[in-house]
């Protein structure tokens, strides 16, 4: 056993689809949950990761051995009507798996323990798991379905067969930064709050709309189109893809992040595929094509663009230096571009935040030229 059960928590199990059974202790909600078991190699940032809507449908394994030692920030602090220290309004993961849970936390900004927060959000969690062994298994065999079993059993089910984007997207349009310029139409496929903050920081107006919103209905005037991150298989978002195709036909300025990269590629006529175990970390090296630059980037995705299927006029923009998978695309002439990583960080490095300025620069140029 990796961790002494000092608090006498209930023993529970993590069960994988290949029959592997791992026993540990509960420190979250007293319930069972199923999902896709994925790992994140970041050392910090669990409040941001756990509230990232891209994790919808997934059981998150944190590879850093000690988790919970700095607690959870206050949820009362708001910025632009959003929780200041989180990436959405609630925990998005289905469950949490860690090696050693710190029952004692200490941080100037902590308002509660990780266990208290999990219980409030009705999310189960298990500690005492050999996460190193588990991560090696997921790397060798690929991402697997799994379940955290408290008392009652639950069935395994592939969350990627559901339209997860529809589950996490807002239902009605919301406007931030009224009076700002330029006006950016943001298609919310499960957007992280810090993306909105980055636009507002730069004086833009943000019109946040649902994933399937008819953006060309004339109800909201905008100068540039942004397609957000989000969970699951991009091919589930047929209506979003159709909207992007129309934006391409209208030659609007387009920028996408993460799932937005995959959706732009599909709208352009390229293909996407599922990665063996995905990229979920804060230190993925991405080389910019045609340059000698390599950026360290935060990432969270399980699907990728097949760069070999890009149609004429489209080229790879960034490439992962570890496994050579696509990390961004752009059009050689038109103002259309997207990236697979997260320039807004939260958590992770902000080395590529300048890409927001690049996008807004293209929008302003288009506004000036009419």
**Radius of gyration of the chain from its Cα atoms, rounded to whole angstroms:** 20
Between CA 144 and CA 180 the distance in angstroms is 45
Expressed as residue numbers, the domain containing 325 is 164-369
End-to-end alpha-carbon separation of the chain, Å?
66
Overall number of domains in the chain: 2
Catalytic residue among 189, 301, 342, 347: 342
DSSP, collapsed to helix, strand or coil, labels residue 298 as strand
Query: Do residues 58 and 168 touch, judged by C-beta distance below 8 A?
Result: no
- In a shared domain, residues 136 and 187: no
d(CA 97, CA 120): 17
* Residue 301 is a catalytic residue: no
Work out whether strand 254-257 and strand 224-227 pair parallel, antiparallel, or are unpaired.
Answer: parallel
Residues in the chain: 370
Is the peptide bond preceding residue 347 cis, with omega within 30 degrees of 0?
Answer: yes
Q: Which of 137, 161, 185 is the last residue of a domain?
A: 161
For 176-188, what is the mean pLDDT?
A: 97
- Same-domain status, 34 and 174: no
Do 275 and 205 form a contact (C-beta atoms < 8 A)?
no
Catalytic one among 189, 237, 258, 347? Answer: 258
Cα-based distances in Å from 228 to 7, 73, 168, 293, 316: 41, 25, 12, 25, 19
d(CA 26, CA 32): 10
Q: Does the annotation count 80 as an active-site position?
A: no
pLDDT of residue 9: 79
Quote the pLDDT of residue 132: 97
Q: Tell me what the mean pLDDT of segment 213-232 comes to.
A: 97
The predicted-structure confidence for 65-92, as pLDDT tens digits, reads as follows 999 999 999 999 999 999 999 999 999 9
- Mean pLDDT, the chain, whole residue set: 96
Residue 365 φ/ψ, nearest 5 degrees? -65, -40
The three-class DSSP label of residue 27 is: coil
Considering the domain boundaries, does residue 119 fall inside one?
Answer: yes
Q: Are residues 130 and 28 in the same domain?
A: yes
The mean pLDDT of 131-159, rounded to a whole number, is 96
Q: Given a cut of 70, is residue 192 above it in pLDDT?
A: yes
- Whether 228 and 195 have beta carbons less than 8 Å apart is answered as yes
Residue 306 lies in a domain: yes
Over residues 247-259, the mean pLDDT reads 98
CA distance 204 to 363: 11
Catalytic hit among 36, 87, 94, 344: 344
Q: What percentage of residues in the chain have a pLDDT greater than 70?
A: 98
The helix/strand/coil state of 21 is strand
The verdict on whether 258 is a catalytic residue reads: yes
Report if residue 4 sits inside a domain.
no
Domain-terminating residue out of 161, 181, 210: 161
Give me the DSSP letters along 315-368.
EEEEEETTT--EEEEEESSSSEEEESS-TT-SSS--TTTHHHHHHHHHHHHHHH
Residues 306 and 185 placed together within one structural domain of the fold: yes
Give yes or no for residue 35 having a pLDDT over 70: yes
Q: pLDDT per residue over 335-356, tens digit each?
A: 999 999 999 999 999 999 999 9
Instruction: Look at residue 39 and tell me if it is in a domain.
Output: yes
Handedness of CA 263, 264, 269, 274 (dihedral sign): negative
pLDDT at position 8 is: 67
Which pLDDT score is estimated for 370? 73
For 17-26, the pLDDT digits (tens) are 999 999 999 9
Helix (H, G, I), strand (E, B) or coil at 14: strand
Are 61 and 235 spatial neighbours (Cβ–Cβ below 8 Å)?
no
Asked whether residue 212 falls in the same domain as residue 345, the answer is yes
Structure tokens at 276: 């063996």
Structure tokens that stand for 5 in this block: 């059960």
1 has a pLDDT exceeding 70: no
Return the closest-CA partner of residue 50 out of 15, 87, 23: 87
Average pLDDT value for residue range 162-178 = 98
Q: Note whether residue 53 is domain-resident.
A: yes
Evaluate if pTM is beyond 0.85.
yes
5 has pLDDT over 50: no
């Amino acid at each position: 056993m990796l961790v002494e059960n000092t608090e006498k928590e209930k023993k529970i199990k993590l069960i994988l689809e290949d029959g592997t059974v791992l026993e540990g202790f509960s420190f979250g909600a007293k319930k069972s949950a199923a999902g896709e078991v994925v790992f994140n190699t970041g050392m910090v940032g669990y409040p941001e990761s756990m509230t990232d809507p891209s994790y919808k449908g997934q059981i998150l394994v944190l590879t850093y051995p000690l988790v919970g030692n700095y607690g959870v920030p206050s949820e009362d602090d708001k910025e632009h009507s959003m929780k200041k220290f989180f990436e959405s309004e609630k925990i998005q993961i289905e469950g949490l798996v860690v090696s050693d849970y710190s029952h004692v936390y200490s941080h100037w900004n902590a308002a509660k323990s990780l266990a208290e927060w999990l219980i409030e959000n009705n999310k189960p969690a298990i500690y005492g798991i050999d996460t190193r062994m588990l991560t090696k298994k997921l790397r060798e065999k690929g991402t697997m379905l799994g379940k955290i079993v408290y008392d009652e059993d639950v069935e395994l089910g592939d969350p990627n067969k559901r339209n997860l984007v529809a589950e996490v997207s807002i239902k009605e349009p919301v406007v931030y930064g009224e009076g700002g310029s330029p006006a950016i139409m943001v298609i919310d496929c499960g957007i992280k709050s810090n993306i909105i903050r980055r636009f507002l920081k730069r004086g833009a107006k943000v019109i946040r709309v649902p994933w399937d919103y008819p953006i060309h209905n004339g109800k909201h005037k905008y100068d540039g189109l942004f397609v957000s991150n989000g969970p699951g298989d991009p091919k589930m978002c047929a209506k979003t893809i159709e909207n992007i195709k129309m934006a391409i036909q209208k030659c609007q300025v387009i920028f996408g992040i993460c799932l937005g990269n995959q959706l732009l590629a599909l709208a352009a006529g390229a293909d996407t595929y599922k990665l063996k175990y995905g990229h979920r970390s804060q230190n993925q090296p991405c080389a910019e094509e045609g340059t000698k630059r390599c950026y360290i980037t935060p990432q969270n995705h399980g699907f990728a663009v097949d760069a070999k299927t890009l149609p004429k006029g489209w080229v790879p923009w960034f490439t992962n230096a570890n496994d050579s998978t696509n990390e961004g695309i752009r059009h050689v002439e038109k103002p259309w571009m997207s990236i697979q990583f997260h320039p807004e960080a939260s958590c992770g490095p902000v080395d590529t935040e300048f890409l927001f300025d690049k996008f807004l620069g293209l929008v302003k140029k288009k506004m000036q030229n009419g």
